[in-house]
Structure 1
Amino acid sequence: MADGLLLLVAGIWGFTFVTVQHAISFLEPHAFNAIRFSIASLFLIIWLLLFDRSQLKKWNKHSIKAGFTLGFFLFIGYSFQTIGLIYTTSSKAGFITGLSVILVPLFLFVFYQVKLTATNIIGVLSAAAGLYLLTLADAVSVNIGDVYVFVCAIGFALQIIFTGKYASAYPTLLLTIIQLATVSILSFAASFLFENTANNFQLPVLYKKEVWSALLITSVFATALAFIIQTGVQKYTTSIRVALIFAMEPVFAAITAYFYNQERLSNSSWVGCALILAGMIFVELPFKKGIKLTKQKINRLNE
């Protein structure tokens, strides 16, 4: 049941690449994210007040700082992903975003001297080769949208690392609310600073089916509900299985893009997608000499 629900979450996330791409042709990226995360935050605040007010006892400057840190990296991830979807395809964006799974062990190695295992190294090399085939093999130069989405993958990878640092120290729902609210605030600020606010937040734009349907799907289902499902059922399975299940997200993105956008990838791009997916799986496979965090390194990670 847990694995099935997590696979459903991966499917929802994969499906949203297409819906977001349609919506941002009418509503600019930062404005879209501002509204999306505001709705999601409100949804979870209501959930907290109705079902678990006890978590409010942990509302303090430390939990706010932790939630803001997670929200900042999540903002980097979603803002660059949404902007990137203007210039690249949903299927390519899905697979490049998935590189965050590979970047996590790389960042742990660089910043915390956590040794890479043989499977980590194979996964990174496979993903690097796949990224080349997906983005460069059929192009003279790098697509700017691919670059934006790669920055998004970096943001998501750092968010995963810092989630591991803070998740056990603070109530999950409270931390999630602060995190999502931070993304909303930063997205509103970015929208007013960098976008044409005269066209944003206008009712005729928000009433368009492509916009309101995408906001509903992404805010309620792909953000608020997805976080609740993940938090509620992950304790019934292993982190390795969760990572492998979430590696299916770009596959769902490619399938959805194929049917709804009629996106067609070249043969080399499909090989690249396969190598990236293989890299995601390899980097999370257990190894008898797997990553071992010594007590000293765990303390450094939590500093």
Structure 2
Amino acid sequence: MKKTILADGSLLFVAFIWGATFVIVQKAINFLPPHLFNGTRFLIAALLLSLLLKKARRKFSLELLKSGIFLGFFLFLGYAFQTVGLLYTTSSKAGFITGLSVMIVPLLSIWILKDKPRSIVFLGSLLGTIGLYFLTLGDISSLNIGDLFVFFCAIAFALHIIFTSKFANQYHALPLTIVQLLTVSISSLICSALFERATITIDSFFQKDVLIALAVTSIFATAIAFLIQTKFQQFTTAARVALIFAMEPVFAAATAFFMIHERLTGNGLIGCILIFIAMIITEIQDIKQIKWLKSKYHLSKSSE
């Protein structure tokens, strides 16, 4: 019980870190191309964690290496789509669309982890789709390719959560995390060399916003956050992790409001509310549980 509470609290802290860094990353990629930024960020994080290896070096194996690369591939896709998407969309919208992974996780868990299908999951997916419509198509003037990129990011992150649940209790967290981060770094740097033709000088790395973003994201949002996720996800389920991570877009919207005074449109706000409701109800076991909770509420009211 204590491990579950500690795991939930630690994962909620991770959601806060990720949500709070949306605005910071968005500022940094004005000076560095997205893939180059990600490659640098994840490389620094991997090097920092490598300093902690010591006895954990013995935990490396071929199977761990394969699993780490596999997880790192989905993590790379998630951050690549998210960071590029932030070039075209707003921090709050990106945060809420990324939050769709909380509904994608239970759906994919039915197929990948062989979880039992639940009617409430399909209801949540429907609400989420309607919410996404209001958030993007509901305001035609703000519809852009960035929203689609961030939606692909949500799918990739959902797959990462699912497979982390599968591998977390099989391997030591530290080396598994390092392999993931190195995979993301190498993949991002290759993509940067292939697709990002912008002229970058050494001075670009020493811009104030870039230095702050690299420091904060490398240490907190990458090294610490993914080590916590890999370590503590073995004590909870993929669906529960996704639900906790649903707080990330809430933190992102709050950060965008306080730091850059960014506000959603009316349609966007409706979409966010629908998506948030969908996030919450996907954790309810079944439609029957809603009826049971409702009847219990009425019984308690009548006894007063």
TM-score where L is the length of structure 2: 0.86
Aligned-residue identity in percent? 54
Cα gap change, 1:9/1:110 in structure 2, threshold over 3 Å: closer, same or farther?
Answer: closer
Taking the aligned partners of 1:214 and 1:35, their CA distance within structure 2 comes to 11
Pair 1:36-2:35 in alignment:
no
Cα gap change, 1:162/1:174 in structure 2, threshold over 3 Å: closer, same or farther?
Answer: same
1:295 paired residue number:
none
User: What is the number of residues matched between the two proteins?
Assistant: 284
1:266 paired residue number:
265
Report the secondary structure of 1:47's partner residue: coil
Q: Give 1:78 shift.
A: 0.2
Taking the aligned partners of 1:78 and 1:69, their CA distance within structure 2 comes to 15
Q: Could you report, residue by residue, the CA deviation over 1:52-79 in whole angstroms, capped at 9, with x for unpaired residues? A: x1x3233222211111110111000001
Higher mean displacement: 181-190 or 39-48: 39-48
Taking the aligned partners of 2:167 and 2:287, their CA distance within structure 1 comes to 27
Report the secondary structure of 2:52's partner residue: helix
Taking the aligned partners of 2:134 and 2:114, their CA distance within structure 1 comes to 30
**Letter in structure 1 aligned against 2:22:** F
Q: Give 1:10 shift.
A: 1.4
1:128 paired residue number:
129
Cα gap change, 1:211/1:121 in structure 2, threshold over 3 Å: closer, same or farther?
Answer: same
Q: Give 1:169 shift.
A: 1.9
1:25 paired residue number:
30
Cα gap change, 1:118/1:164 in structure 2, threshold over 3 Å: closer, same or farther?
Answer: same
Taking the aligned partners of 2:233 and 2:61, their CA distance within structure 1 comes to 26
2:69 paired residue number:
68
Taking the aligned partners of 1:17 and 1:240, their CA distance within structure 2 comes to 23
1:278 paired residue number:
277
Taking the aligned partners of 2:129 and 2:41, their CA distance within structure 1 comes to 32
Higher mean displacement: 205-214 or 2-11: 2-11
Taking the aligned partners of 1:253 and 1:217, their CA distance within structure 2 comes to 15
Q: Could you report, residue by residue, the CA deviation over 1:93-143 in whole angstroms, capped at 9, with x for unpaired residues? A: 001111111112222335566442122122111111111100110116841
Taking the aligned partners of 1:189 and 1:94, their CA distance within structure 2 comes to 26
Aligned runs of 1:1-303 on 2, under 5 Å? 2=6, 3-49=8-54, 53=55, 55-110=56-111, 114-139=115-140, 142-196=143-197, 198-199=199-200, 202-231=201-230, 242-287=241-286
Q: Is this contact kept in 2: 1:119–1:283, CA < 8 A?
A: yes
Q: Is this contact kept in 2: 1:240–1:285, CA < 8 A?
A: no
Taking the aligned partners of 1:180 and 1:235, their CA distance within structure 2 comes to 19
Over alpha carbons, which structure has the higher Rg?
2
TM-score where L is the length of structure 1: 0.86
Taking the aligned partners of 1:232 and 1:70, their CA distance within structure 2 comes to 14
Report the secondary structure of 2:128's partner residue: helix
CA RMSD of aligned residues (A): 2.3
Please list every run of 5 or more consecutive structure 1 residues that lacks an aligned counterpart in the other structure: 291-303
Q: Is this contact kept in 2: 1:76–1:152, CA < 8 A?
A: yes
Taking the aligned partners of 2:237 and 2:66, their CA distance within structure 1 comes to 28
Higher mean displacement: 278-287 or 149-158: 278-287
Q: Is this contact kept in 2: 1:91–1:250, CA < 8 A?
A: yes
Higher mean displacement: 222-231 or 256-265: 222-231
Cα gap change, 1:80/1:239 in structure 2, threshold over 3 Å: closer, same or farther?
Answer: closer
Q: Is this contact kept in 1: 2:168–2:234, CA < 8 A?
A: no
Q: Give 1:174 shift.
A: 1.1
Taking the aligned partners of 1:112 and 1:248, their CA distance within structure 2 comes to 24
**Letter in structure 1 aligned against 2:109:** L
Cα gap change, 1:190/1:163 in structure 2, threshold over 3 Å: closer, same or farther?
Answer: same
Q: Is this contact kept in 1: 2:131–2:270, CA < 8 A?
A: yes
Q: Could you report, residue by residue, the CA deviation over 1:137-182 in whole angstroms, capped at 9, with x for unpaired residues? A: 0116841000000111111111122222222222111111101100
2:293 paired residue number:
none
Higher mean displacement: 15-24 or 245-254: 245-254
